[in-house]
Amino acid sequence: MYEPKKSDHFTFGLWTVGNIGRDPFGDPVRSPFSPEHIVENLSRLGAYGVNLHDNDLVPFDASLAQQDRIVKSFKSALEDHDMKVPMATTNLFTHPVFKEGAFTSNDPDVREFALKKTLRAIDLGAELGAGIYVFWGGREGAEVDASKQLPDGYKYFRDALNFLCSYVNDQGYDMKFALEAKPNEPRGHLFLPTTGAMLGFIATLDQPDMVGVNPEVAHETMAGLNFPHAVAQAIDAQKLFHVDLNDQEMNRFDQDFRFGSVQLKSNFFLVKLLEDIEYDGMRHFDAHAYRTEQEMGVWEFARGCMRTYLILREKVDKFNDDTEIQGMLSELQTESVNWDRIAAGYSSDKATELKAKNFDIDAMAERDFMYEKLDQLTVEIILGIR
Which residues form the interface with ligand GCO (CB under 6 A)?
A: 53, 89, 134, 136, 180, 182, 216, 244, 254, 286
DSSP E strand boundaries for 14-70: 49-53
Q: How far is the CB of 89 from ligand GCO (least distance, A)?
A: 4
Q: How far is the CB of 8 from ligand GCO (least distance, A)?
A: 20
Among 9, 27, 37, 53, the active-site one is: 53
CA pair distance 293, 300, nearest whole angstrom:
10
244: contact with Mn ion by CB under 5 A: yes
Of 98, 97, 378, 131, which is closest to residue 265 (Cα–Cα)? Answer: 378
**Nearer CB in complex with Mn ion: 92/325:** 92
14, 57 in Cβ contact below 8 A?
yes
216: contact with Mn ion by CB under 5 A: yes
Of 283, 290, 246, 281, which is closest to residue 267 (Cα–Cα)? Answer: 246
Q: How far is the CB of 103 from ligand GCO (least distance, A)?
A: 13
Helices (H), 64-149: 64-80, 108-127
89 binds, options Mn ion, ligand GCO, none, Cβ within 5 to 8 A by partner type:
ligand GCO
Contact region with Mn ion (CB under 5 A), list: 90-98, 257-265, 286-294, 334-342: 286-294
Is 81 an active-site residue?
no
- Contacts of residue 279, defined as CB under 8 A and 6 or more positions apart, other chains included, come to 240, 243, 273
CA pair distance 6, 49, nearest whole angstrom:
8
**Nearer CB in complex with Mn ion: 254/300:** 254
Q: How far is the CB of 213 from ligand GCO (least distance, A)?
A: 12
Is 53 an active-site residue?
yes
100 binds, options Mn ion, ligand GCO, none, Cβ within 5 to 8 A by partner type:
none
17, 284 in Cβ contact below 8 A?
no
CA pair distance 201, 324, nearest whole angstrom:
42
286: contact with Mn ion by CB under 5 A: yes
Q: How far is the CB of 19 from ligand GCO (least distance, A)?
A: 10
Among 9, 54, 56, 242, the active-site one is: 56
CA pair distance 362, 103, nearest whole angstrom:
57
Q: Which residues are catalytic?
A: 53, 56
Residues making contact with Mn ion (CB under 5 A): 216, 218, 244, 286
